[in-house]
Amino acid sequence: MKFTIYGSGCAKCNQLTANVEEAAKAKGLDYEVEKVTDTNAIIDAGIMRTPALAMNDEIVIEGKVANTKELESLLGSL
């Protein structure tokens, strides 16, 4: 599973990263995390609000920090 975090590297972005890692570990997934902080790359990905999260290159969250339970639910639906 590949997670991509889009954002400037702020506290919210870091919290989303930590929550994603915790949710993936809880589900027993092998995963990698990529952080995209370049503004042009974020815009090119079609992101309008950060932080944002893509799972396997599909944007699933934009403009909020999802908690671990929300992320586990998303992982269960994939």
What residues are labeled active site? 10, 13
* Gap between the Cα atoms of 55 and 20, Å rounded: 10
Which amino acid, 3? F
**3-class secondary structure, 67:** coil
Give CA–CA dist 27/41, Å, rounded.
29
Q: What is the DSSP letter of 50?
A: S
